[in-house]
Amino acid sequence: SLKREYSKGIFDVKKSAENIAHDIRTPLTVIKGYVDLLEEEDLSEEGKKCLEIIKGRTRYMKEMTDELFLSLSMKSRGVLSLFDIDAKSVLEEALVSFYNEFKKKGMTPSIITPNDKVILKADSKALYRVYSNIISNALKYGEGEFNVQMDEKGNTIFSNYAPNMDSVEANKLLDRYYTISDAKASSGIGLSISNEILQEMGGELKVRLDNKRLYISIIYKT
C-alpha cells in the first residue's frame, strides 16, 4: 500500500543518513587521533600553525556532519515531538553548559528572562540544540559581554560584540552553505539548520549587525 511504501521510504532515508554519518565520522575520528599525537611532538612554529589549521578544519567537518545528520534525521521523522515545555529552563540549561567556554574567553553573559515559566509547544531536545548553536556562534565570533533577553512568549534576542564581522557576512549567516572560517572557527550550517528546526516549531531566526554588534533573534509567529 501507499502507506507501507511511504514508511519504507522514511526508513531508507534514515538508514542512508546513518550510513553517511558513520562513513564520515570514522575517518574524522582517526584524523583527530593523529592530530592529538602531533600535539605531543616538538614542532616548529610553522608546523604548529599548520596543525592549528588542521584542527580547525577537522572540527568544522565534524560540525558539518553532525548538523547534516540532524537535518536528515529530522526530515526522516517528518515532524518533531511537540509538547508543552518550559523554554526558559531549556535556555538556562544551554547557557550553563557553556559556562567553562564563557570563562575561558572572558565573556560575561547578561541574562534577562521572565519570572514565570515560558510555556511553548516545542521539542525540548531540538530547542536545546537551537539555543546551543546560537551560543556557540557567539563564542566563536564574539567578545566582551553576551546579552540574552527572553520575553513571556519565548521570543529571545542574543547579542554580542562581533568586531571582525561585516554586514555582508551577517546577512549570509542563515545560508546553509555559506561559511565564515579560519583556523579556529567556522559557521553557517548550524544556524541554517537551527532556523529549519524553529520553523517546524512555529518560529524563525532573524540576524542583523548594528554598530559591530550581532543580534540573533528567535521570533515566534503565534
Whether residue 157 contacts residue 149, with contact meaning beta carbons closer than 8 Å, is answered with yes
Question: Which has more confidence, 150 or 12?
Answer: 150
User: SS3 breakdown of the chain: % helix, strand, coil, rounded to 5?
Assistant: 55, 20, 25
pLDDT score at 171: 76
Q: Write out pLDDT tens, residues 174-212.
A: 776 555 544 344 444 578 888 888 888 999 999 998 988
- Closest CA relative to residue 106, chosen from 131, 142, 133: 142
pLDDT score at 127: 92
Q: Write out pLDDT tens, residues 140-182.
A: 778 888 999 999 999 999 999 888 887 777 777 777 655 554 4
Cell of 17: 543518513
pLDDT score at 206: 92
Q: Write out pLDDT tens, residues 40-84.
A: 888 888 888 888 888 777 776 776 666 666 666 555 555 578 899
pLDDT score at 205: 92
- Closest CA relative to residue 117, chosen from 148, 154, 82, 81: 154
Which pLDDT band, with edges at 50, 70 and 90, does 218 fall under?
very high
121, burial (CB in 10 Å: exposed 0-12, middle 13-18, buried 19+):
middle
